[in-house]
Amino acid sequence: MVALQEMSYHHHNQLGSYSLMFSAGGVRRVGDNYCMSADVSQFEPHDIVVLSYNHQVVIHAQKVLDDGTVSDTFTHKSLFPEDMDPLSVSGTLSPEGTLVVSVSGSTELEHSSVPTYRSEAYL
C-alpha cells in the first residue's frame, strides 16, 4: 500500500497576514492517476506556476502590482507516492478558480537509482 501525504499551503497578502492551513482534499488516487486540488480563485492564470520535483508537486501563485510589488502569494506543496511519473504532471483550472493537478502513477516501480526530475508549467 502506498501512503499518500498532504503537506501544506501558505497564503500571504499585502497586509502582512499569514495563515498556514492543511487542505481537507489532499492527494487522491483516481484510476491510474493521482490528483490534488487547490483554490486559486484570487489569482489570474498567468500568476500561477506548477512545479514538480522529487515526488512533490508545488503550486505557486503571486500577484504583482503595476509598480512591481507583490501584493499576494500562495504556495501549496503536496508529496506524491514514489510511483508518480514526474513528467506527466498536468493541470486544469475551473471557471470557479479551482486548480486540479493530475499526475500519472507508474505501473512498475524501478528499484535502481531514480533520477531527480524537475518540471515547471505556467498557466
Q: Tell me the CATH number at 15.
A: 2.60.40.790
The answer on pLDDT for 23 being more than 70 is no
Residue type at position 71 = S
Whether the CB-CB separation of 76 and 23 falls below 8 Å is answered with yes
Q: Report d(CA 64, CA 34) in Å as an integer.
A: 31
* pLDDT interval class at 18 (50, 70, 90): very low
Residue with cell 503595476: 66
pLDDT at 44: 94
pLDDT of residue 105: 86
pLDDT, average across residues 42-57: 92
Question: Residue 121 domain-assigned?
Answer: no
Q: Which of 32, 55, 56 shows the shortest CA–CA distance to 106?
A: 32
Percent of the chain past pLDDT 90, that is, above it, reads: 46
For residue 119, tell me if it sits in a domain. no
Q: Find all residues with CB under 8 Å of 111, minimum gap 6, and list them.
A: none
Least confident of 26-30, 33-37, 92-96: 26-30
Domain that holds residue 90: 7-109
Arithmetic mean of pLDDT, 64-91:
91
Per-residue pLDDT band at 42 (split at 50, 70, 90): very high
Listed in sequence order, the residues at least 6 apart from 66 whose beta carbon sits closer than 8 Å to its beta carbon are none
Residue 117 lies in a domain: no
Residue 47 has pLDDT above 50, yes or no: yes
43 falls within a domain? yes
The structural domain count of the chain equals 1
Instruction: Say how far apart CA 26 and CA 36 lie, in whole Å.
Output: 6
Within a domain: 120: no
Residue 61 C-alpha cell reads as 501563485
Asked if residue 122 is part of any domain, the answer here is no
Q: In terms of pTM, does the model score above 0.85? A: no
User: Domain for residue 12, yes or no?
Assistant: yes
The whole-number pLDDT of residue 26 equals: 83
Distance CA 92, CA 37 (A): 9
